[in-house]
Amino acid sequence: MNNRIDYAKASPEGFKAFGGVYVTVHNSGLPKELINLVYLRVSQLNGCAYCIDMHSRDLVKLGVELEKLVLVPVWRDAGGVFNPRERSAFAWAETVTRVAETGIPDADYEAAAAEFSEKELADLTYAIGLMNAFNRFGIAFRSTPAAAAKLEAPARARASA
């Protein structure tokens, strides 16, 4: 997989602006594990290999067990693996990410608002919006997942030798 462009280098001002939202989300008070679980779920919904790879690695670094990580796509059927806040965050992430399909029904909002304060819900929605934007950059510009880059490096080295 080859990157089409390095969008951060091509437009550093835009990347910096998105980076400001990223910092705001991570300083919001929401748990880092919850934020990264939401980033992972949104990236799965959008099919962004780069972000799925990155946020899976971030969650492993945070100490999330493999058993939990692999059940993110099927969180509704995972029993007690995910706590109520995580399940609520996943449901909110799905309805917001699929806004064109869902229209974000009142019942979805009310369920999320029952679990999160207004500030938390706003910050969670910033996180969801940010990841949706980064997924679009990753997919549009074919950002190479770390796992793919690692596997492709020996082949490139042999080809250039």
The rounded distance, in Å, linking the Cα atoms of 64 and 22 is 21
Over residues 33-60, the mean pLDDT reads: 97
30-144: what fold?
AhpD-like (1.20.1290)
pLDDT at residue 1 in the model: 54
Over residues 90-113, the mean pLDDT reads: 98
Residue type, 96: V
| pLDDT tens digit sequence for 129-146 | 999 999 999 999 887 777
The rounded distance, in Å, linking the Cα atoms of 112 and 98 is 15
Length of the chain counted residue by residue: 161
Cβ atoms of 97 and 42 closer than 8 Å: yes
The rounded distance, in Å, linking the Cα atoms of 84 and 159 is 51
